[in-house]
Amino acid sequence: MIIIDDIYKRYKTKDGPGRWILNGISLTIPSNHNVGIIGKNGAGKSTLLRLIGGVDHPTKGSIQRKTRISWPMGLGSGLQPSLTGRQNAKFICRIYGHESDLIDRIDYIQDFAEIGTAFDEPIRTYSSGMRSRLQFALSLAVNFDVYISDEVTAAGDASFRKKAADAFRNLVGKSSLIMAAHGESTLKEFCKSGIWLHEGKAYWFDDINDALIEYKKSELNHQIDKALSPKLEHQELSGISKEMAEVLQKGLTLLNKGLDGCPERIGHEEGSHAIMAAKEIGMNLANIGVIKNLGFTLLPNKKPLLIKYNPVADQYVELYDVNSQCVKAIASSQ
């Protein structure tokens, strides 16, 4: 179990104390529980992982680690630059009590890292990718209860990424994982629960899918705000038109109502808005009260340009071009 008690974190800058990256976070991460950390760039994901791993300290607050935790895999720091990869590996293995099987551990690290002859060269000559590979191999060579991963599955070529993913799969049932990754599929595969970092605060979700949805809602709202801004430069950066932003804004409002007791019936135009917003943030349409109350059965579909209701066919249809030449039914009457 890891207990995070009211931690704050900020760094010093040349102009004095910087902004609060983490601002009063309290969480309890259960034992034997895989957790994904989600947030936009700069939200504090790597910072929180470093604090949990003990390679950095909070400005205020405390973290209790009632388990054996790795350093953040893929961080690439913590290695002695004047020593070779092999010498660093020996030093770390001995610190963690692996003197008796040291040769086997070193062979495993060298094989897994795939850095060739560089294993016997000083760390200061390594690229950042080589450092990350070596750190990852070092972490796996030591038996931890909890492994911390910071974008490890995105490092290296396709072969190494597959090897990293396979290594995580092998940890199932043996150790737990706390990870940050930009790839949604990676988080869904390896993590049961999620922590969403937003504006210095942390929000716990028992289901990783719920954490991803809240994150994407926040990002979509930010995009909508830009599109509806009176400033032209903000509109141009939004990536969506003002008209689409208005549709998505209405749809998000309906979805939020649907989660807290939605109206018994809504009109077909509102239903279109709700479906558009749900698809944008990756919600499971079949589980959304607002849409279920329309009395329609949802069919498999891909992301459309727009969704409209066709009263003649009594169906919602997807429009794949502006001329509405290509349509596909996504919902039909029960």
pLDDT in the model for residue 201: 96
Residues contacting residue 307 through CB under 8 Å, at least 6 positions apart: 272, 275, 276, 279, 316, 317, 318, 319, 330
- 299: DSSP letter: -
CA distance 109 to 89: 8
Q: Is 177 in a helix, a strand, or coil?
A: strand
Q: How confident is the model at residue 97 (pLDDT cuts 50, 70, 90)?
A: confident
Q: Interior CA angle at 87 toward 81 and 90, to 5°?
A: 130
Q: Do strands 69-73 and 146-150 pair parallel, antiparallel, or not at all (unpaired)?
A: parallel
**Average pLDDT of span 80-91:** 94
Express each pLDDT in 272-302 by its tens digit.
777 778 878 887 665 555 455 444 444 444 4
Most confident of 39-53, 229-243, 256-270: 39-53
pLDDT in the model for residue 208: 95
CA distance 199 to 221: 14
Express each pLDDT in 118-167 by its tens digit.
999 999 999 888 888 888 888 889 889 999 988 765 555 677 778 888 88
Average pLDDT, the chain: 81
Kindly report the backbone phi and psi dihedral angles of residue 301, in degrees, each rounded to the nearest multiple of 5, phi listed first: -160, 170
How long a stretch of residues is the chain? 334
- Neighbouring-strand partners of residue 306: 319
Of the listed ranges 81-90, 94-103, 161-170, 286-295, the least confidently predicted one is 286-295
Higher-pLDDT residue of 262, 82: 82
pLDDT of 26 over the 90 cut: yes
- 182: DSSP letter: S
Residues contacting residue 249 through CB under 8 Å, at least 6 positions apart: 224, 228
- Are the beta carbons of 117 and 124 closer than 8 angstroms? no
Express each pLDDT in 308-322 by its tens digit.
655 655 665 555 444
The pTM assigned to this predicted structure is 0.78
Percent of the chain whose predicted confidence (pLDDT) is above 70: 76
**Which among 93, 33, 44, 109 is positioned nearest to 67, based on CA atoms?**
33
Express each pLDDT in 180-229 by its tens digit.
988 888 899 899 999 999 999 999 999 999 999 999 999 999 989 888 88
Specify whether the backbone of 250 is left (phi greater than 0), alpha (psi in -120 to 50) or beta: alpha
Q: Is 103 in a helix, a strand, or coil?
A: helix
Kindly report the backbone phi and psi dihedral angles of residue 60, in degrees, each rounded to the nearest multiple of 5, phi listed first: -140, 160
Of the listed ranges 11-20, 93-102, 248-257, the least confidently predicted one is 248-257
- Are the beta carbons of 223 and 239 closer than 8 angstroms? yes
Higher-pLDDT residue of 34, 236: 34
pLDDT in the model for residue 258: 60
- Please report which residue ranges of 142-264 form alpha helices under DSSP H: 158-171, 184-190, 208-227, 232-238, 242-259
Q: How confident is the model at residue 60 (pLDDT cuts 50, 70, 90)?
A: very high
Q: How confident is the model at residue 36 (pLDDT cuts 50, 70, 90)?
A: very high
Q: How confident is the model at residue 51 (pLDDT cuts 50, 70, 90)?
A: very high
pLDDT in the model for residue 167: 85
Block residue for tokens 């990293």: 164
